[in-house]
Amino acid sequence: MTTNDELFARGQAVIPGGVNSPVRAFGSVGGTPYFVARGEGAHVVDVEGRRYVDYVQSYGASILGHAHPAVVAAVQAAAAEGSTFGAPTEREVLLAEELVARVPGMEMVRLVSSGTEATMSAIRLARGATGRRTIVKFAGNYHGHADALLVAGGSSVAEQATSDSAGVTSGAVADTVVAPYNEVPPLDEDVAVVIVEPVAANMGLVPPADGFLQGLRDACDAVGALLMFDEVITGFRLGVGGATERFGVAPDLWAFGKVIGGGLPVGAFGGRRDVMERLAPLGPVYQAGTLSGNPLATAAGLTVLRELDADAYERLDGIAGRLADGLTSAIGGAGLDVQVPRVGPLVGLFFGADPVTDFVTAKVSAETGTYRRFFRAMLDRGVALAPGPYEALFPSLAHTDEDVDRTVTAAAEAATEIARA
């Protein structure tokens, strides 16, 4: 039998760190990563046959759970018809129509292949449309790995020695301004766009403070800057119309990814018609992609979106609520200080007594080291949380009450073990 240790060793010989995205190497929690052999709904099974209740769910790209039968069938049928053409296809139009119909205020959208491409292209568009250079982002928000956005990022970037990356020139970030999350920053007329995660989900889970998003809208309007919501996580997860609908604040531009690909590589960026019409071939802002609007990915994305009606979100909310309440009492009951923030279907987990409202307070919690111990104790008990303290939990529609209850039981045991040590 192939083991996780063996695959990790072989992987490290030919792939930097043995992984194709840094967080997967378990650097911040220690140990050997499990190599997934297959996923089934709320569970993943590793190459050694160990089964885990999975709260990673591809960092939110999976919302129905793994290998949902309707998605499998749609992708199989699409593959049989050819997987990429370099010509437009019907499903691209259908997916774009579906996205535009759901997000209040979004009039046009372009499909790309990842969240990184979505934010990167939308930033270029914002600069091209406004003729301005400065972009404003918030500390602890992650927008993918485009150079200009790789400053004070959350997610596994937060584990780097500095939050910047080597190889990003000072020129590439010279026009990026970083502000603390949950405070409306001062803006001037050089600002092209303010990009924000409307619910921060890459420094753990940090909800927007009351008035923060509306404050950004007003501040952008006052100086003629564009506002972009990076809804790569929140889009089509917080509800039918994502964060825009939930908080009643509409930006000028949106970035999407994760959920809309149904587990295949898709991103999208959209906005008001007058802004989007600045894109090539209509306008002067260039953007393109060989696999953009890919037939397999659009098949998966459309299938997932069709399952996501108001009723599905209500069920997901119920699952997340049961999980958050259960974790709060299990961990708190064992005598550990814990915060379990929740925004609808999104759940966070911070150890420590103080509320987390921004990147500074998120780091205080992460640096207690308790997450690492908790992660390991949960993994031993067959529950897979994200292997880093700056990620959220992603319950899916496939998580049953039994899955959640098993998780809560494991959490009580894990927390008791940690409290005793």
Cβ burial, residue 367 (10 Å; 0-12/13-18/19+): exposed
**DSSP 8-state assignment for residue 393:** B
- Summarize as ranges the residues that interact with ligand PLP (CB under 6 A): 59, 114-116, 119, 142-144, 197, 202, 230, 232-233, 257, 267
Residue 261 CB, shortest distance to ligand PLP, in Å, is: 8
Q: Which of 54, 59, 258, 313 is catalytic?
A: 258
Q: Which of 55, 59, 142, 181 is catalytic?
A: 142
Under 8 Å between Cβ of 264 and 76: no
Under 8 Å between Cβ of 341 and 207: yes
For residues 142 and 415, which CB has a smaller minimum distance to ligand PLP in the complex? Answer: 142
Could you check whether the bond before residue 281 is cis, i.e. omega within 30 degrees of 0?
yes
SS3 309: coil
Residue 145 CB, shortest distance to ligand PLP, in Å, is: 7
**Spatial separation of the C-alpha atoms in residues 217 and 373, rounded to whole Å:** 40
Residue 312 CB, shortest distance to ligand PLP, in Å, is: 21
Q: Which residues, in sequence order, are CB contacts of 171 under 8 Å at separation 6+?
A: none
For residues 197 and 252, which CB has a smaller minimum distance to ligand PLP in the complex? Answer: 197
401 has catalytic annotation: no
Query: For the chain, what is the radius of gyration of the CA atoms?
Result: 21
For residues 143 and 372, which CB has a smaller minimum distance to ligand PLP in the complex? Answer: 143
Q: Which of 46, 54, 181, 230 is catalytic?
A: 230
230 has catalytic annotation: yes
Residue owning tokens 């129509």: 97
For residues 294 and 370, which CB has a smaller minimum distance to ligand PLP in the complex? Answer: 294
Under 8 Å between Cβ of 84 and 327: no
Nearest-CB residue for ligand PLP? 115
Write down the H helix ranges in 163-294.
Answer: 170-173, 212-223, 242-247, 273-276
Using CA atoms of 248, 252, 255, 260 in order, give the dihedral in degrees to the nearest 10: 60
For residues 29 and 201, which CB has a smaller minimum distance to ligand PLP in the complex? Answer: 201
Using CA atoms of 233, 234, 237, 239 in order, give the dihedral in degrees to the nearest 10: -170
**Spatial separation of the C-alpha atoms in residues 391 and 24, rounded to whole Å:** 12
Residue 112 CB, shortest distance to ligand PLP, in Å, is: 9
Residue 267 CB, shortest distance to ligand PLP, in Å, is: 6
Residue 401 CB, shortest distance to ligand PLP, in Å, is: 28
Residue 201 CB, shortest distance to ligand PLP, in Å, is: 6
**Spatial separation of the C-alpha atoms in residues 311 and 117, rounded to whole Å:** 31
Q: Which residues, in sequence order, are CB contacts of 367 under 8 Å at separation 6+?
A: none
258 has catalytic annotation: yes
For residues 347 and 418, which CB has a smaller minimum distance to ligand PLP in the complex? Answer: 347
**Spatial separation of the C-alpha atoms in residues 421 and 416, rounded to whole Å:** 9
For residues 60 and 352, which CB has a smaller minimum distance to ligand PLP in the complex? Answer: 60
Q: Annotated active-site positions, please?
A: 142, 230, 258
